[in-house]
Amino acid sequence: MEVRIYGRNLFRIGQIENQTSLIWTRKFYEPGTFELHAPITNENLYMLKEGNIVGKKGSAEAGIIEDIEKEESDIKNEITVKGRFLSSYMDRRLIKKTVNFSGYIEVAMRQLYSGCIPIPLVELGSLNGFTERVEFQVTMKNLLAYENKLSRAGAIGFRYRPDFVNHKIIFETYQGKDRTLSQHENNRVIFSEGYNNLNNAIYKYNSKNLKTFAIVGGQGEGDARTYYELGGGEGYDLREVFVDAKDLNPEGMTAAQYKAALLQRAQETLNESIVSESLECETEAAINFTYKEDYDLGDIVTVRKKKWNLYMNQRITELSEVYEYGGMTVVPTFGDPLPEKIKWDE
């Protein structure tokens, strides 16, 4: 595996020839992460500095070195660098002007970035025409945190793709494909014991955070406060939640737009207050289904484990590429291990 190091200007500095381990974790809803281990040499010390960029041949992502650790002992002489992928640059920006938005989530993600202080070398990529919609109001919030919220709300992935030839970074949005057994449009992908691609599996299920009925409160006090209801359920299956949306300012909105924004907040709360179900496993990159050809990050696939009476269709929300001992293992995560409640007012 070729690990290349670049400066912030995307000009190449060199290549790590002797890494002992690389864990390259791609994430659908947020910036991915990496961890690189290599011997301490003069060349590696020169290249592996804070702010430099780690690239990998054949990857649409690259990472920023944010964490450096050096260890020297009788048995170890190693430098370890860690960091997040390039879209984490958005963690350095604030949404300063109040934005009232009603429309497509993909457009919102691009608009919020465009309204902040520009990030060097970053350009907007093509508009894909995704039709998921959202209503929200935001001001003085962290840009990356809000992009994460919008990504989860619309199941739209995002990344900063480096163009090392032209020395620029492209802000892209994307969606995975449905590859489950229940559809006929795309090639189907199954992870199961029968396909030998479901090894060292870890399954998690948690219904503690499930909510089925939301009451959202807007502006006003006491009996004059605006309330709307959304959802259902009865008996033991009724699980209620109150959504405080006083931060939504109706100024500049019509009554219909304000109601839609409040109900959107309630819907997003219900969307995230669901049963948490996920499965993580290990597989080889070319066992029955080839990684990045037959399936990729963001795709929805079928997972079957007969021993556990488990059958589910889940999105691949994380993919770790582990390079050690001259080989590569892929570790996909299906579903969200701990779905994050979208707190629009934070």
Per-domain boundaries in the chain: 3-86, 89-174, 190-206+275-334, 213-246+259-272
Q: What is the pLDDT of residue 178?
A: 96
The answer to whether 318 touches 306, Cβ cutoff 8 Å, is no
Q: Is residue 342 pLDDT above 60, yes or no?
A: no
What is the predicted pLDDT for the residue at 153?
Answer: 86
pLDDT digits (tens, 9 = 90+) for 241-273: 999 999 888 888 889 989 988 998 898 889 888
pLDDT, average across residues 179-193? 94
CA angle 278, 284, 288 (to 5 degrees): 90
Measured distance CA(312)–CA(334) in Å, rounded: 9
Mean predicted confidence (pLDDT) in 103-112: 96
Residue 259, both tokens: 């109601």
Residue 300 CB coordination number (10 Å): 21
pLDDT at 124 over 80: yes
Percent of the chain's residues with pLDDT above 90: 77
DSSP assignment of 263-280: HHHHHHHHHHSS-EEEEE
> DSSP character for 253?
S
Query: Using 50, 70 and 90 to split pLDDT, how confident is the model at 343?
Result: low
pLDDT digits (tens, 9 = 90+) for 49-62: 999 999 998 899 99
User: How much is the average pLDDT of 204-233?
Assistant: 94
pLDDT digits (tens, 9 = 90+) for 140-179: 999 999 999 999 889 999 999 999 999 999 999 999 999 9
> Same fold for the domain at 3-86 and the one at 89-174?
no
Are residues 216 and 226 in contact, defined by beta-carbon separation less than 8 angstroms? no
Tokens of 216: 């959202």
Beta pairing class for 77-85 and 33-39: antiparallel
Hey, what are 120's tokens?
Answer: 């060097």
- Please say whether the structural domain 3-86 has been given the CATH code 2.30.300.10: yes
241 beta partners: 214
The amino acid at 182: S
What are 325's strand-pairing partners? none
Share of the chain above pLDDT 70, in %: 97
Q: How confident is the model at residue 284 (pLDDT cuts 50, 70, 90)?
A: confident
- pLDDT tens figures, 78-104: 999 999 999 999 999 999 998 988 899
List phi, psi (to 5°) of 246.
-65, -20
Two structure tokens written together for 98: 């109040």
Question: 89-174: which CATH architecture?
Answer: 3-Layer(bab) Sandwich (3.55)
Determine the pLDDT at residue 339. Answer: 45
Predicted pLDDT at 242: 97
Look over the chain and give the mean of its residue pLDDT values, rounded to a whole number: 92
Residue at 7: amino acid letter: G
CA 298 to chain centre: 9
Distance CA 271, CA 6 (A): 40
341 falls in which pLDDT band (50, 70, 90)? very low
For residues 17 and 47, give the distance between their C-alpha atoms in angstroms, rounded to a whole number: 12
Of the pLDDT bands very low, low, confident and very high (cuts 50, 70, 90), residue 320 is very high
pLDDT at 340: 46
Order of strands across the sheet with 227-231?
A: 227-231, 213-217, 240-244
Q: What is the DSSP letter of 17?
A: S
